[in-house]
Amino acid sequence: MATCDSCGNDYPHTFTITKDDGTSGVFDSFECAAHAMAPRCAHCGVAVLGHGVEVDDQTFCCSHCARTTTGADLTDSAGS
């Protein structure tokens, strides 16, 4: 059995996730994988589980956080 890198659970059904930069981890659940591997919003720190918003080299969870941090002219709704 393998041990989850996030919670330490020794579990027979772990899986490995490898990012493009070569960083990898062994996990027993998607929750543990998301906690360890998801990018964090550069403004509020929340785990970005969807597409998020990118401005320059920074990732944000939403346009509000991107606007607040960078001043970028972004909105969450088309036509707003």
CA distances from 9 to 32, 49, 62 (A): 10, 23, 33
Give the integer Cα–Cα distance in Å for 74 and 38: 22
Assign 75 a pLDDT band (cuts: 50, 70, 90): confident
Written as one letter, the residue type at 69 is T
Is the model's pLDDT at 11 over the cut of 90? yes
Phi, psi (5° rounding) for residue 51?
-70, -35
**What's the pLDDT tens digit per position in 46-74?**
999 999 999 999 999 999 999 999 999 98
What are the residue ranges of helices labelled H in 1-80? 30-37, 63-70
Assign 80 a pLDDT band (cuts: 50, 70, 90): low
Beta bridge partners of 53: 60
